[in-house]
Copies of this chain bind each other. A is one copy, B any other.
C-alpha cells in the first residue's frame, strides 16, 4: 500500500520522537511537531496510518502509539563485503579478504539514532558538515568521548567531553574554536558518538 509524503513525515516524526524521549508523543505534541493547528488532523493521520498497518495504538489511550518496524525487507543489502585494505598513501594492494561490515557492527545492541552534522567544529576529527553521526543514547560519557550535549536544556552541540571539577569542558576539534565551559548541572549528555556515515552525492 502506498504512502504519501505527508504520511512519511508523520511516521518519521513519531519514531524520532519516541527514540529521542523514550515515550510516545501526545496528539498536541505531534501537531506542534508537524506544524498542524488541529488535533483532528493529527487524529486522522494516525487513523490512516493505523489502517495501513504502519503503526499500532490502543483506543483512547494516552501516548500509546507504536511505530511498527518497516516491513522486511530488501535482500541482504545491509551487509557489505569487506574486500580488503587500501592504501590511501602509497598505492598498495587491495586484497580480497572475506570479511564484511554493516551498520550492525557499529550499533551492536545499543539504542542508536543519527544526526546530520552542521558546522565545522569537529573538522580536525574529520567530521564535517553533511556527515551523519551515529549516536548511542546514553546519559553518561567518559573522559574524551565525542558526545551530543544539551546546554541549559536548549542548545545541542557535538563536542569532546571533559570533566574539570564541577565544570564540564566541551572541546571542539577545531584549532580556531574555543572550548565551552559550563557547570555540570547545566549540561545534559544526550548520547555519545559511535561512528559516522557519509554519503557522496
Contact = CB atoms under 8 A, between A and B. Distances in A.
Interface of A: 1-5, 7-8, 12-13, 15-24, 33, 57-58, 61-66, 69-70, 72-107, 109, 112-123, 126-129, 132-134, 146, 148, 150-151, 154-158, 172, 177, 180, 190, 193-200
A6 to B, nearest CB: 9
A165 B146 CA distance: 46
A10 to B, nearest CB: 10
Given A2-B64, A2-B66, A12-B99, 9 more contacts: A8-B22, A16-B81, A69-B75, A70-B76, A88-B122, A94-B150, A95-B156, A106-B197, A196-B198
A118 B63 contact: no
Contacts of A72: 75-76, 109
A22 B2 contact: no
Nearest to A63: B4
Given A7-B23, A88-B118, A148-B86, A195 B190 contact: no
A121 B90 CA distance: 8
Tell me what chain A mostly uses at the interface: helix, strand, loop, or mixed.
mixed
Contacts of A104: 74, 77-78
A134 B195 contact: no
This chain's copy number in the assembly: 2
A128 to B, nearest CB: 5
B119 A90 contact: yes
B112 A80 contact: yes
A-B pairs, top 6 by smallest CB distance, nearest first, are: A16-B98, A89-B119, A91-B155, A91-B157, A94-B156, A126-B126
Given A77-B103, A89-B119, A92-B156, A5 B20 contact: no
Contacts of A90: 119, 121, 157
A168 to B, nearest CB: 13
A98 B63 contact: no
A158 B170 CA distance: 34
